[in-house]
Structure 1
Amino acid sequence: MMKKLFAAVLMSFSAAAAVAVPFGSQSVLVVEDDTGKVLLEKNADRLMPIASLTKLMTAMVVLDAKQDMDEPIEIEQSDVDVIKHSSSRVPVGATIPRRDVLQLALMSSDNRAAASLARTYPGGPAAFKAAVKRKIAALGMTQTAIEEPTGLNPANRSTAEDLVKMAHAASRYPEITRITTDPKDIINIKGREVEYHNTNRLVGAKGWDIGLSKTGYTQEAGRCLIMKVKAAGKNATMVLLNAGASSVRVLDALNIRRYVLGDNSSTAFAANAPRAKASAGGTRRVKHVKARRRHR
């Protein structure tokens, strides 16, 4: 009886603490996966640009098409970002198997990779966009509009409420959950093995059990994050939109884990992950995890 009472008091304290904690992201939604219960919300219905969170939708539509994942895709000049002029470590002229292009688009959020997936979709970019529209409707994402596959266009907009639906759908694709929770990977680019890293600094960090992850950034969207986590016995999905800096986005995730999910372990809120530098949808460096070498 005393244990139950203590647990109830602890939960009440955690909920009160969560309300007291100022979250830097402009829109926040945390949902318990097993029950659908909303654990925390802040402007969850506010329509905002979603930047590279878009790439989860791109990946689902590409996988739904059941294309040959071993088919080589050549990166073309038309795949280069002319909206934000973001950098890329995937050179024009590189020929890469579709499965590795998907890896680059999701894990390291490469914009050329995402653009090439839409360009090589059956029927081309117009057919890809139509498929995205159908997928949005099928998932009941009534407040979402996606105009292109990378998220660079600020017309790609949604709400935290809709993005939780997208996260739940994406988590049902084993390829997406595997790729987005890879800390880093080595991919053959023009005969040279190149190391690429996950844009989420918490993936691979000690104490974090992450089941799905995707970051996003443009000037209009700010720093964004979708993440499925397991903490303190709870499975939860968090959506963070329009944080002012990467450090703010990470701090919000740490506070959600501690105060909303009730995980008071010493590693739950130790922000000792390596620092990251990222451009719009760009890559970053991590040194504390080993690469998984891909054999061909």
Structure 2
Amino acid sequence: MHARFRITSLLSHALAFAVLGLALAVPDVHATQRKPAAAKKTASVPAKRVAAKLPHKASANKATRVSARSAKAPVRMAAEPARVSFGQLAGLHAVSDPLDLKSSVALVIDQDTKEVLLSKNDHAVLPIASLTKLMTGLLISEARLPMDEPITITQDDVDTEKGSGSRLTVGATLSRAELLHLALMSSENRAAHALGRTYPGGLAAFVQRMNAKAKLLGMTETRFVEPTGLSSNNQSSAHDLATLVNVAHGDALLREFSTSPGHEVMVGKRVLQYNNTNRLVKSPSWDIGLQKTGYISEAGRCLVMQAEIAGRKLIMVFLDSAGKFSRLGDAERVRSWVEKMHPISGANMGAAAMPRS
């Protein structure tokens, strides 16, 4: 009887310890479950893009390892995953070129002879970001609208596409010329949008005019949906953009504004200093006649220029460059090559171009 009681007592104590152990373990289980959920919130890349980058199983294992570490030590904030450009998704960076450019798309042509010195995926159609503003500027200049006319920034000009900021607050008033200057030189989005919004007929008429102009110039691989480049639906090819640069270079106002190193504007009682987004315009080793930079995550870093190198007037287009400064590095590589190899023919230098789609 006593033996049976002792066995029952021991079983009761064992059960109690088991329940206590389970109770202590449960919070850790919940903590482990919460960690992957928190990690998901920090990710800003769409699920499809993440899935394309990492296999599902690998992603799950990675989340498990992070959770396991969190039980032992403070957790560091997870780094935001890199956003993938359209060019990366299409595998365009796998195409090699003789200069080892960091841009997945490139085109260098002689402006006078139309000789192609270098080509790489030059018919690939990609988002072009703020290179869009070259077409915006060209249409505003050709419209011969009063450049001294005051234009006020409204709520309609605020970026709802990417949520980017601006020092041009709602209610700020500048002349059309000043807005055009800021749009071309420092890629001011609200300035570009206000220019399109105040075009005769309004924004819709302006966008229609952008596409009509592209068609007129033979830019068959180009489409615009708004005047800033914030939308990834503004798309073109290096081939078409070289055509746009050539035409825009013929406009004195666009040459002046796009290559201006800096500019001050008076907004109310404040003086705002703006600088060129392309630091090469300040370099004494460059003779740049027209330029425009662009960037959104879908487009990568972009750059177009007209510049004189080794006595030749060249048009250069670089799209979907992977690093922050690599588009400028690509321009430097081309300049060094032209200076060293001139007057070598570009026929043998061009990488195989992507077939038209």
Indicate whether the TM-score tops 0.5. yes
Counterpart selection for 2:279 from 177, 193, 201: 201
C-alpha distance in structure 1 between counterparts of 2:109 and 2:305, whole Å: 11
> For each residue in 1:121-151, what CA deviation from the matched residue of structure 2 results, as whole angstroms up to 9, or x when unmatched?
0010111112112101111000000110000
Amino acid at match of 2:334: I
* Structure number with higher relative contact order (C-alpha < 8 Å, ≥ 6 residues apart): 1
Q: Is the 8 A contact 1:234 1:261 kept in 2?
A: no
Name the counterpart of 2:232.
Answer: 154
Change (3 A) 1:156 1:221: same
Structure 1 residue 201 displacement after superposition: 1.3
Q: Distance between the aligned counterparts of 2:330 and 2:339, measured in 1?
A: 12
Q: Give 1:33's match in structure 2, choosing from 111, 115, 120.
A: 111
Q: Which amino acid aligns with 1:220?
A: E
Matched, 1:75 2:153: yes
* In structure 2, distance between residues paired with 1:140 and 1:220: 25
**Structure 1, unpaired ranges of 5+:** 1-17, 265-296
Q: 1:19 to 1:125 in 2, by over 3 A?
A: closer
- 1:263 Cα deviation after fit: 8.0
SS in 2 for 1:20: coil
CA distance in 1, matches of 2:163, 2:284: 34
- 1:55 maps to a residue whose letter is K
2:168 match: 90
Asked whether the 8 Å contact 2:99–2:334 carries over to 1, the reply is: no
Q: CA deviation at 1:260?
A: 3.2
Unaligned segments of structure 2, at least 5 residues: 1-95, 343-357
Counterparts of 1:160 and 1:33 in 2: how far apart (Å)? 14
Give the Cα–Cα distance (whole angstroms) in 1 for the partners of residues 317 and 169 of structure 2: 32
**How is 1:82-121 mapped onto 2 (pairs within 5 angstroms)?**
82-121=160-199
Distance in 2 (alpha carbons) for counterparts of 1:179 and 1:220: 27
Confirm or deny: 8 A CA contact 1:257 1:263 kept in the other structure: no
Say whether the 8 Å CA contact 1:45–1:161 is kept in structure 2. yes
SS of equivalent residue, structure 1 residue 133: helix
1:57 aligns with 2:135: yes
Q: Structure 2: which amino acid aligns with 1:148?
A: E
What residue identity is the alignment partner of 1:217? Answer: Y
Identify the residue that residue 181 of structure 1 maps to in structure 2: 259
Query: Which residue is 1:286 aligned to?
Result: none
Give 1:66 shift: 1.2
CA shift for structure 1 position 246: 2.4
Letter aligned with residue 53 of structure 1:
L
Write out per-residue CA displacement over residues 167-203 of structure 1, whole angstroms, 9 at most, x where no aligned residue.
0111111100000110001111113221100001111
Q: Aligned partners of 1:42, 1:262: CA distance in 2, in Å?
A: 20
Tell me the distance in 1 between the aligned counterparts of 2:157 and 2:340.
44
**Which position in structure 2 is the counterpart of 1:163?**
241
Which contiguous aligned blocks of 4+ residues in structure 1 show a shift greater than 3 angstroms?
Answer: 260-264
CA contact (8 A) 1:55 1:149 kept: yes
CA RMSD of aligned residues (A): 1.4
> 1:222 aligns to what?
300
Q: CA deviation at 1:262?
A: 3.4
SS of match in other structure, 2:247 = helix
Amino acid at match of 1:254: E
Q: Is the 8 A contact 2:102 2:330 kept in 1?
A: yes
Aligned length: 247
Distance 1:68 1:21 in 2: 45
2:223 is matched with 145
Fraction of identical pairs, as percent: 46
- Structure richer in strand, relative to its length: 1
Correspondent of 1:66 among 144, 150, 170: 144
Measure the CA separation in 2 of the matches of 1:151 and 1:262. Answer: 36
Give the structure with the higher percent helix. Answer: 2
Q: What is the identity, as a one-letter code, of the residue corresponding to 2:317?
A: V
d(CA) in 2 for partners of 1:167, 1:21: 23
Write the distance in 2 (CA, Å) between the matches of 1:110 and 1:20.
35
TM-score, normalised by the number of residues in structure 2: 0.67
Per the alignment, in what secondary structure is the counterpart of residue 202 of structure 1? Answer: helix
What is the TM-score when the length of structure 1 is the normalising length? 0.81
Q: Could you tell which deviates more after superposition, 252-261 or 207-216?
A: 252-261
* Structure 1 residue 21, shift from structure 2 partner: 2.2
1:239 to 317, 320, 330: 317
Q: Which sits farther off after the overlay, 37-46 or 88-97?
A: 88-97
